[in-house]
């Protein structure tokens, strides 16, 4: 039986890593939540999601 040797090459999928990080944030928020499920608003807050209207209103600030 021949076994292929794994060389020191590292492949990173940046999109997958970002998704894993977001899932981790949701897991942390869910474990800290007092309620049974996170509300849609809380999920948006954890994932730093805003609506198009909120983004548009925030464009003039800075």
Helical H runs in 1-62?
A: 14-32, 40-46, 52-59
Q: The tokens of 2 are what?
A: 């021949």
Q: What is the pLDDT of residue 29?
A: 93
Question: What are the tens digits of pLDDT across the range 3-62?
Answer: 666 666 666 788 899 999 999 999 999 999 887 888 888 899 998 887 665 666 666 555
8 contact partners, CB below 8 Å, separation of at least 6: none
Instruction: Give the residue extent of every domain in the chain.
Output: 14-59
- The C-alpha atoms of residue 38 and residue 51 are separated, in whole angstroms, by 18
């Amino acid at each position: 039986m021949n076994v292929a040797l794994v060389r020191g090459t590292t492949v990173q999928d940046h999109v997958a890593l970002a998704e894993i990080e977001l899932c981790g944030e949701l897991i942390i928020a869910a474990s800290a939540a007092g309620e049974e499920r996170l509300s849609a608003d809380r999920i948006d807050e954890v994932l730093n999601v805003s609506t198009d209207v909120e983004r548009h209103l925030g464009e003039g600030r800075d």
